[in-house]
Amino acid sequence: MVETGKIFRVRCVDNTLQRDTLSFGQVYDVTQDNERDGYYELSGLGRFSRSRFEVLEPPTPAETCRKSGSR
């Protein structure tokens, strides 16, 4: 299931073929994390392969609860 809203932040570690859009080392906000299809949707930029990024801030316990639907 794809969740919407700010989930966490990632840093670009590979901008091959995307230099006009992504900057190496730049931090981006993830608005959707689609694990099944292997992409992050970045705020205002579109969808990119998860392998291009490293996670900076893992989801907090509160965000994890909201994502799973439990309290």
pLDDT at residue number 17: 92
b/e per residue 48-64 (b: at least 16 CB within 10 A): bebebbeeeeebeeebe
> Helix or strand or coil: residue 52?
helix
Domain spanning 8-68, CATH architecture: Roll (2.30)
Tens-place pLDDT, residues 6-57: 578 999 999 999 999 999 999 999 999 999 999 999 988 999 999 999 999 6
Q: Which amino acid is at 2?
A: V
pTM: 0.69
pLDDT band at 2 (very low <50, low <70, confident <90, very high): very low
DSSP code, position 68:
H
- CB-hemisphere CA count at 13 Å for 56? 13
Residue 56 or 67, more confident: 56
Q: How is the chain split into domains, by residue range?
A: 8-68
